[in-house]
Homo-oligomer: A and B are copies of this chain.
Amino acid sequence: MSGLRVAVVGATGAVGREMWRLLEASPLPVSSAVAYASPRSAGTELSFRGAPVAVRALDETSFQPVDLVLASAGAGPSREWSPRFAGAGAVVIDNSSAFRSTHPLVVPEVNPGALDADAAIFANPNCSTIQMVVALAPLHREWGLAAVRAATYQSVSGAGARALDELVRSTRRALDGDDEEPAVFPHPIAFNVIPHIGTFADSGETTEEIKMRQETRKILDLPGLPVSAVCVRVPVLRGHSEAVWASFERAPDPARARVLLAEAGIRVEDDPARARYPLPREAAGLEDVFVGRVRRDPSDPVGLVLWVVADNLLKGAATNAVQIALALAARGRLAQGAGA
């Protein structure tokens, strides 16, 4: 193989930076790397395996055919450009919500079969969904998942690099007794929690809460699964946490659940007597999904309660996207012009 021409769309964003870094560190053979970003970030410079790469605005002039695209620039740009790249021969792994309902939606260790689809665009799921289905899949295989309720504690980095800046800046100002008007969030995020991620549907749910249901159903191939989420932004920089109530067809066992989770590659941190359970600040920067506080649901004889944490920019986004790329490469699906 002569090496892949790769591009990252949104390369200077919170997720795109991680995609770039993980691609660089991956075993994929890369002959050229292209960094696309918004016009605001164009002109800055990145490096890829030692070579300088100028960041370009993505437009008719700069567009060029490549073999692999990792896209994380939002649903609008994705709708416009991901099909263009695919049409010009690329395999596109798209982190936006644009293709999740229509294209293969993949968490490689959960539904690898979706990688065999005859598709040029693969959708990367929502961050909160990825870590939850990673934790639920091995339990579902054992006991049959019947219903899920989840309350999330989502870090600001899920809203992008500007959101990180807003939390840091507004926290400093709040400590000085001074408030500023929020720009990224609908309310001040410093020392606050905000039960509003995405936009509201008529049902009273947010788009984030709806994604958690629709994407969980699709990835686990359980189209009627009851899933009810409450998604909340918390003043954490990086790392999403989730309180998950899972109900099964057959009575689960917490000790056996811990074994199944560990066997599935999940980092089980569950020693409450020593105050060991997953924490977002400890998960930040790591590529695993962490589960702890596994216990019987005292309100449900066939229920378990779990605490699930992962770095939303890594397994919740960039890591999962690169894992899709590697899995496609292992299937011989990544090569010059393979996506055409």
Contact = CB atoms under 8 A, between A and B. Distances in A.
Interface string A56-86: 0000000000000000000000000000000
A172 interface: yes
A142 interface: no
A279 B149 contact: no
A286 B300 CA distance: 36
B275 A213 contact: no
A299 B148 contact: yes
Interface in A129-184: 147-149, 151, 153, 167-168, 171-172, 175
Interface in A283-310: 292-300, 303, 305, 307
A232 interface: yes
A272 B196 CA distance: 8
A254 interface: yes
Nearest to A195: B307
A42 interface: no
A234 B294 CA distance: 20
Interface stretch (A10-18, A119-127, A199-207, A259-267): A199-207
A203 B296 contact: yes
Contacts of A293: 195, 204, 230
A66 to B, nearest CB: 37
Contact of A204 (B188, B245, B295): B295
Interface residues of A, number: 57
A191 B171 CA distance: 10
A2 interface: no
A53 interface: no
A203 B298 contact: yes
A194 interface: yes
B147 A299 contact: yes
A192 interface: yes
Given A187-B281, A192-B236, 20 more contacts: A149-B149, A149-B245, A153-B193, A167-B191, A172-B175, A192-B279, A192-B280, A192-B281, A195-B241, A196-B272, A200-B273, A205-B298, A213-B298, A226-B299, A227-B299, A228-B298, A228-B303, A230-B307, A232-B243, A234-B234
Interface of A: 147-149, 151, 153, 167-168, 171-172, 175, 186-188, 191-196, 200, 203-206, 213, 226-228, 230, 232, 234-237, 241, 243, 245, 254, 272-273, 275, 277, 279-281, 292-300, 303, 305, 307
23 contacts: A153-B153, A153-B232, A168-B175, A171-B171, A188-B281, A191-B237, A192-B279, A195-B277, A195-B293, A196-B277, A203-B296, A204-B254, A204-B272, A204-B294, A205-B295, A213-B298, A226-B300, A227-B299, A228-B298, A230-B243, A230-B307, A232-B241, A232-B243
